[in-house]
Amino acid sequence: MTRANDRQQQLGTIFSSCPLVPVITIQDPDTAVELGRALVAGGLRILEITLRTEHGLGAITALREALPDVWVGAGTITTVDQYQAAVKAGAQFAITPGSTQALLQYGTTATAPLLPGVATLSEILQAYELGYRDFKLFPAEVAGGTAALKSFAGPLPDIRFCPTGGIKPETAADYLALDNVIAVGGTWLTPQDAVSARDWTRISQIAEDSLRRCRGAG
């Protein structure tokens, strides 16, 4: 098996475990594990911890220890140094908002597979040449939403997406209904007011309701 095929298989295993990926930004490190447990209690099996705050790497390590049966990865990676730090912290996958040649090249050998962020067909083709077949469409709604994804399927029927950005509970199922969408990411799963209030019951209910809505539509 080539490295590219192995990477694709890894991502396939991760994203086949759950159709929804919460995009999590940790403002208070003391909430990380409780938030993760609340999301898992609601049925989620993948946690994307963004590196938008200084608490991201520590949260990844803490969640890997507390929830060993859940996929924990790093999001909002913009440099190779961040990618390396995320892997060292225990990230099982990495997601970028956009793509650079340095990130794409590093992702071909990193132990944690990369889901590169793209918004155009040209960006997809640059990564495609390196063996990438799975992508994050970001910002999904601004980049064309479901119409863009349908268009991408024509010239490149073997690529798959996890769209993120502007997606809401009521639109997630529309994305998941497409053959080239493997999962959907969103911040609606972790509203900041609920996290700040430590309302873990509400967080679990949002996750459960969102999963039910998506699976019901499918």
Paired tokens of 17: 């475990």
Specify the residue for token string 């997630």.
172
Structural contact between residues 148 and 121, judged by C-beta atoms closer than 8 angstroms: no
Structural contact between residues 94 and 87, judged by C-beta atoms closer than 8 angstroms: yes
Those residues whose C-beta lies under 8 Å from the C-beta of residue 161, and which sit 6 or more positions away, are 134, 135, 136, 137, 149, 152, 180, 181, 182
Beta-ladder partners of 137: 118
Which strand ranges, in their side-by-side order, compose the sheet holding 134-137? 117-118, 134-137, 160-161
Q: Which entry of 34, 48, 54, 170 is annotated as an active-site residue?
A: 48
Nearest 10 degrees: Cα torsion 126, 132, 135, 138: -20
Q: Which entry of 88, 123, 129, 136 is annotated as an active-site residue?
A: 136
Active site includes 208?
Answer: no
Active site includes 48?
Answer: yes
Paired tokens of 200: 């873990």
Residue among 177, 193, 175 at smallest CA distance from 185? 175
Catalytic residue numbers read 48, 136
